[in-house]
Amino acid sequence: MKSLKNHISLIIALFTVLFSVQIYVSVDRTIAAYETRLKNDYSIIVVSSKLLNVSEFKAMDNLIDRSEPIATDQVLERLKAEMSQKNLDLLKLTLPKFYRLYLNRFPTPYEIEKLQKQLQKNPAIERVEGYAQTHDTVYKLMLLFKDVVQVFSIVIAAVTSLLILKEMRLWQFQHAERMSIMALFGAPVWLRSAVLFRLAIVDAIIATCMLCLAFFIINEYGWMDVLLHTVGIKIQLFNFINDSIRSLIIALSVSIVLTLTIVIGQQEEE
Amino acid sequence: MDKVIIAENLSLSYKEFETIISKASFSIDAGSFVFITGASGSGKSTLLKSFYGAIEPRAGHLTVGGVKMSRISTSKLNFLRRHIGIVFQDYKLIKEWTIEKNVMLPLIISGYTKDVSGAQVQKLLGHVKLIHQAGKYPPELSGGEQQRVAMARALAHNPILILADEPTGNLDEYSSEVIWNLLEGANTQLKTTIIVVTHHIPSSINVPYKHFHIELGNIHEVS
C-alpha cells in the first residue's frame, strides 16, 4: 500500500508536468492555426493608376505573397442604366486599378505600417488600405494568452519537478539499506540503483499512458472541438503518435535525470 | 607465504583528534584463521571495517589482497569487495528479498548465470540447514537462522577472505556451531583466509589460528 502510494505520487507529478507541456503545445497549435486563418483572410487593398503584376508588388516588399486584381465590372454594371455606353467606356479607361494583396504571414501593426509606406513610395499607387485593427486586437489577446500559458506551464513544471525530486529522496531512504548492503558486496552504482531506475521508467510510462487517456477523453467528448470551431479553428489538440512519443521522452528524461541526481547525491554522501 | 593483509604504522580514526588504532603494524597470511579480540570500544570492528574499505586509513599504509586502501577508487573498492565475504553481527540481510535471493547477492553482483548461482545457493542453504526456508523472508526467521543465511551469503562467491564481526554474538548453541563449522570448513578445505572479531575465542575451535588483541589503540599478537 505504501509502495503504491509512492508510485501514485510520482505518477501524478509526472502527469502534471506532461499535461502542462501538452496544454502549452495545444495552445501554441491553436494560435498557429489562428494565425494561418488570419493570414488567409487578411489582405491589403491597393489602388493604382496603372497595371501592376505580382513580381512588381513582391519587389516592393517581400512580405507580399500574391496579388489579385479586383474586377470593376460589377460597379460598371450598376451604372449601365444611368450612363451612356460611350461614357461608360470613358469611365472604364480612366478608372484606377484595384488590387487585393495577400501576405505570406500575418503581419504585426508595425509591419503593416512599413508595408503601406513602402507601397506608397511607388508613384503609380494612389491609395493603400490595411484594415488590420480588428484582427490585431484578437491576435494580441491570443499572444498574451499564449505567454500566460507558457509562464504557467514553466511554473507547474518547475514545482512538480521539485515534488518529484522530494519523492525520489523518499525512495532513496526506502532503498538506502538495500543499496548500502549491495555496496558492501561490491555492487556497482548502476546495479544498486537499478530498482530506482526501473520504478522511474515504469512510472514515466504510466504517466504517459494517463496523458494519452486524458486527451483521448477530451477528443472523444468533443467540447474543445466545438469551442475551437466557434472561432473558426480546426486543429488536432493531441496527435496520438507524435505527442505521445514526445511526452514519453519528456517523462523518461525527467524521471531518469532526477534519479541520476539522487544516485549521484548518494554516492557523494558515501 | 603470501600476505592477504599488510598494515604498516596504520592509524584509524573517525574524528581528527580521536585515534582508535594507533600506528599498528602487522600482517595476515593467506589461508590463515585469525581472531581479533579486545574490550568493547577497543576498535576491533573499526579495524575490520578498514579491511573492507568502510573506513580509510588516517595514517600509515594498509594493503588488502594486494590493493592499497588509502584513497582507493570506487571501482577498485568494488572489485576488492567482490572477493571478500562479510558476516555482520546484525546480519545485514535485505528484508524485501527471499533467503534464496539474499544468498545469491554476491553471485548476482559477480555476474554469474542463474543456473550456476541457483545450484550454488541450494548447496549452501543445505550446508546451513535452511534449504526448507529458501522462499521465506529474513524477518520470518530467528536471529540464529538469519546469521546462518548471512554466513551462506558470505561463502557464496568463494571469496579469498571472510571477515566476520561477532558472528555468534547473540546466537543459540546450534547456530553458533553451524557457523564455526562453516568457517573452519572454508579455511581448511578452500584455504580461505578467515578474520573473526570476537570477545571470546570459542574453545571448540579445531583449526590452528593467530590471535591479535587490541588494547588502548595498540594491536599485539598473542602467542
Q: Do B81 and A191 touch (CB under 8 A)?
A: no
Number of domains present in the structure of chain A: 2
Using a 10 angstrom Cβ sphere, with 0-12 exposed, 13-18 middle and 19 or more buried, the burial of residue A27 is buried
What are B120-139's pLDDT values in tens digits? 999 999 988 899 999 999 99
pLDDT band for position A249 (cuts 50, 70, 90): very high
Q: How far is B136 from chain A (nearest CA, A)?
A: 17
How far, in whole angstroms, is CA A186 from its chain's centroid? 50
Instruction: Decide if B69 is inside a domain.
Output: no
Phi-psi region at B38: left, alpha or beta (left = phi > 0; alpha = psi -120 to 50): left
CATH of the domain at B188: 3.40.50.300
Partner residue facing A187 (CB), from B52, B93, B109: B109
> Could you tell me the three cell numbers for B91?
546480519
Both A92 and A190 in one domain: the answer is: no
Contacts of B94 in chain A (CB under 8 A): 177-178, 181-182
Q: Last residue of a domain, which of A78, A106, A131? A: A131
Both A227 and A264 in one domain: the answer is: yes
What are B188-205's pLDDT values in tens digits? 998 999 999 998 898 888
Q: For residue A8, is pLDDT > 80?
A: yes
What does the pLDDT average to over A164-181? 82
Q: For residue A2, is pLDDT > 70?
A: no
Instruction: Match 496544454 to its residue by C-alpha cell.
Output: A23
> Could you tell me the three cell numbers for A248?
514519453
Q: Which domain holds residue A97?
A: 43-131
Q: How far is B56 from chain A (nearest CA, A)?
A: 12
Q: How much is the pLDDT for A86?
A: 79
Query: pLDDT > 70: what percent of chain A?
Result: 93
What does the pLDDT average to over A81-109? 80
Number of domains present in the structure of chain B: 1
Both A143 and A261 in one domain: the answer is: yes
Partner residue facing B92 (CB), from A184, A191, A267: A184
pLDDT band for position A228 (cuts 50, 70, 90): confident
Q: Which domain holds residue B125?
A: 31-56+74-222
Which of B78, B90, B97 has the most A C-beta neighbours within 10 Å, making it the best mutation to test the interface with A?
A: B78
Q: Do A186 and B109 touch (CB under 8 A)?
A: yes
Contacts of A182 in chain B (CB under 8 A): 94, 105, 109
Q: Do B109 and A181 touch (CB under 8 A)?
A: no
Q: How much is the pLDDT for A229?
A: 79
CATH of the domain at A64: 3.30.70
How far, in whole angstroms, is CA A225 from its chain's centroid? 16
Instruction: Decide if B104 is inside a domain.
Output: yes
Q: Do A188 and B52 touch (CB under 8 A)?
A: no
Both A14 and A65 in one domain: the answer is: no
Partner residue facing B81 (CB), from A177, A178, A185: A185
Both A126 and A140 in one domain: the answer is: no
Contacts of A190 in chain B (CB under 8 A): none
Both A247 and A152 in one domain: the answer is: yes
pLDDT band for position A133 (cuts 50, 70, 90): low
Q: Which residues neighbour B91 within 8 Å (Cβ) at sequence distance 6 or greater?
A: B138, B143, B146, B147, B149, B150
Q: How far is B134 from chain A (nearest CA, A)?
A: 19
What are B53-92's pLDDT values in tens digits? 999 999 999 999 999 999 899 899 999 999 999 999 889 9
Partner residue facing B106 (CB), from A178, A185, A189: A185
- In this prediction the ipTM stands at 0.89
Q: Do A178 and B52 touch (CB under 8 A)?
A: no
What does the pLDDT average to over A117-133? 81
Quote the CA–CA distance of B2 and B64 in Å, as a whole number: 11
Q: Do A187 and B80 touch (CB under 8 A)?
A: no
Both A252 and A150 in one domain: the answer is: yes
Q: Last residue of a domain, which of A131, A158, A183? A: A131
Chain A nearest-CA residue for B79:
A186
Total Cβ atoms within 10 A of residue A83? 13
Q: Do B93 and A181 touch (CB under 8 A)?
A: yes
Q: For residue B113, is pLDDT > 80?
A: yes
Query: In the 8-state DSSP scheme, what is residue B157?
Result: T
Partner residue facing A181 (CB), from B54, B92, B108: B92
Chain A nearest-CA residue for B154:
A185
Partner residue facing A185 (CB), from B95, B96, B105: B105
Chain B nearest-CA residue for A183:
B78
Instruction: Find out whether B154 and B92 touch, Cβ atoms under 8 Å.
Output: no
Q: For residue A3, is pLDDT > 70?
A: no
Q: Last residue of a domain, which of A96, A131, A166? A: A131
Q: Which residues neighbour B10 within 8 Å (Cβ) at sequence distance 6 or greater?
A: B21, B23, B24, B25, B50, B57, B59, B60, B61, B62
How high does pLDDT run on average in chain A? 83
What are B155-172's pLDDT values in tens digits? 999 999 999 999 988 788
